[in-house]
Structure 1
Amino acid sequence: MQWNDYRLVLAVARARKLPEAAEALGLTVSTMFRRIERIEELMERPVFHRERGIYTPNEVGDELCRAAEQMEQAAFAAERKVLGSSSLVSGTLIVTSSEVLGAFFLSRHLTDLASYHPGLDVQLHSGNEVLSLAHREADVALRSSRPMDSSLFGRKLSDIHWAVYGDAKSSARLSASSDFRHERFVGFSSSPFADHMSAIQRTVFPDGIVSLSSNSLVLTASSAQKGAGLAVLPMVLGEQWPGLFRLTEPIEQIAGELWIVCHQDMQNNPRVRLAFDALISGIERDRSLFVGDSV
């Protein structure tokens, strides 16, 4: 068996279906099918259980997957070490963050890097999915909590405070001294932080009425700006959203942390250092957007 055969078995085991595995490897389904048949001929036994188009590795397949994963990890480690010791400021730099941090922080401080370094291809990825730094799905990540993985290198950039925001009418009617009882709020639903945020919102504003729910902080900010209700938002979003006004001091119970993180093998890579330096410098200019001043 060749390395590509191990990769194919692992891709099929992860995807469970040939079309998805073929897409991941850039192959056709017919090529995938022929290569699986060839592998099973080499092994002189089946590698997968097949049922209604679902491919599940059997005992032989599990052994091949374990070997493939070890090869994959070794390849990733070698690549990280080679890139980590590189002295060239060129190639691709992938930086990942949440949607809010991407739009309201990353884009403020990383978009000029490529103009200063023509050989650098900067790619910003935002979303709720966590890209792997070990597998080089991303080179640098912004995380909202301290990294616990010992293979990662990180630096705390700032605290993250949240506050209550409303539209112009709410701002004219309410003040920092208001108790917000029986005010309408835009709530959280179907999101990674929904239960946690809803519990905090009920604790801080027990008599608040949730009139609309959203699974996105961007949608929440937009809804509040259009008068759907008050919104509890991270200040980096609320302070920059047009038409929103802060109505409270930062809420202590919702304070978090902002960390910049990379794999420890990549911490001396020039591209990674550029991103670290740009964002460390950027947080000094944007500190008030994260922690705020008095209303």
Structure 2
Amino acid sequence: MKHLNWDDLRLLLLIVQEGTLRRASKKAGMSPATLSRRLDDLEEAVGQKLVERFQAGCLPTAFGADMVALASQMGEIALEVERTRDRQDAHAASGVVRINTDEWLSYFLTTRFARFHDAYPNVEVEIVTSHRPYSLARREADIALRPYRPEQLDLVTRCLGTLSFGLYCSRDVAERHAAALSSGDWARVPFVGFDEPRAEFQSDRWLRALPGAPAPWMRCSYGLGILDGVSHGAGLGVLATFLAGDQQDLVAAIPHIPELDQEIWLSMHASLRTSARIRAVVDFMGQVFAAYRETGR
């Protein structure tokens, strides 16, 4: 038997699981031609045919089925190795991680980070909230979360997902202004928004452009002030939609405003990518945003 590429066994397992080279190649992130060549290499290495290729799909030979069973066992072993590594990392990772972001994302993180401490008890997290981005190059922060992709070449970036927004009010306001809300008569309802220095924010420009809507009678210099005003009956305001699951008394006048969607980008200095504490925080934030994509919360 020639030298065996163990990664080719993983591809064999994927081909059999997916049933066709096309579906397997898409999942593997390579072209069908490349995947076919890798299968040829594996069959040459073991000296036997592993898969019968038909127009409708692929079926393993008897020997191929045995190899698939072994590949499946290897996959389970690999997963167990990763879980063991993660458990060791949980004890090895230590130190402080500073995350710089804006108000909505600060609230999003602080209300979802409790489980992180259980997994990584020696890592401390500082969430630094500001409209002004902190400098990652000058180490003002370790990680940044922002609604745009940074352009610096020395940064590692990753899109975590999309933050969406809606127009909300309290249950009391919804009941008192039910007729106006159902007809979209914005002139007859009160609003809460940002103050004049922040009137250029995209959400506030959208709010002030609503047909017939009066200027917000209550104006705040920070996003959570709008949340407080809206949830306590001061009027309608633009809020991040994840808050709907956190605040039981919020009512959506417009559940989703597509033009306000924001891609959320994580960035960090390239020199930090191998840090255990940074990797722990980045992986956890990836899990949190994955859950948000699936549930909206």
TM-score of Structure 1 vs Structure 2, range by shorter chain = 0.5 to 0.7
Paired residues in the alignment total 203
Q: Is the 8 A contact 2:100 2:127 kept in 1?
A: yes
Which TM-score applies when normalising by structure 2? Answer: 0.61
Q: 1 CA distance for matches of 2:94 and 2:196?
A: 40
Q: 1 CA distance for matches of 2:171 and 2:254?
A: 14
Q: Which residue of structure 2 aligns with residue 285 of structure 1?
A: 291
Structure 1 residues 1-295: aligned runs within 5 Å: 89-103=93-107, 105-172=108-175, 173=178, 178-182=183-187, 183-192=189-198, 194-203=200-209, 205-210=210-215, 211-287=217-293
Aligned CA RMSD, in angstroms, stands at 2.6
Cα separation, partners in 2 of 1:94 and 1:148, compared to 1, 3 Å: same
Cα separation, partners in 2 of 1:178 and 1:232, compared to 1, 3 Å: farther
**Residue 145 (structure 1) shift:** 1.3
Q: 2 CA distance for matches of 1:202 and 1:122?
A: 37
**Partner SS for 1:164:** strand
Q: Is the 8 A contact 1:152 1:261 kept in 2?
A: yes
Give unpaired runs (5+ residues) of structure 1. 1-86
**Partner SS for 1:247:** strand
Q: Is the 8 A contact 1:142 1:260 kept in 2?
A: yes
- Report the identity percentage: 24
Q: Specify the code of the residue in structure 2 equivalent to 1:133.
A: L
Provide runs of 4+ in structure 1 moved above 6 Å: none
**Partner SS for 1:253:** helix
**Residue 197 (structure 1) shift:** 3.2
* Larger deviation, residues 222-231 vs 273-282: 222-231
**Residue 139 (structure 1) shift:** 1.0
Bigger-Rg structure (1/2): 2
Q: 2 CA distance for matches of 1:154 and 1:175?
A: 44
Which TM-score applies when normalising by structure 1? Answer: 0.61
Q: Is the 8 A contact 1:100 1:237 kept in 2?
A: no
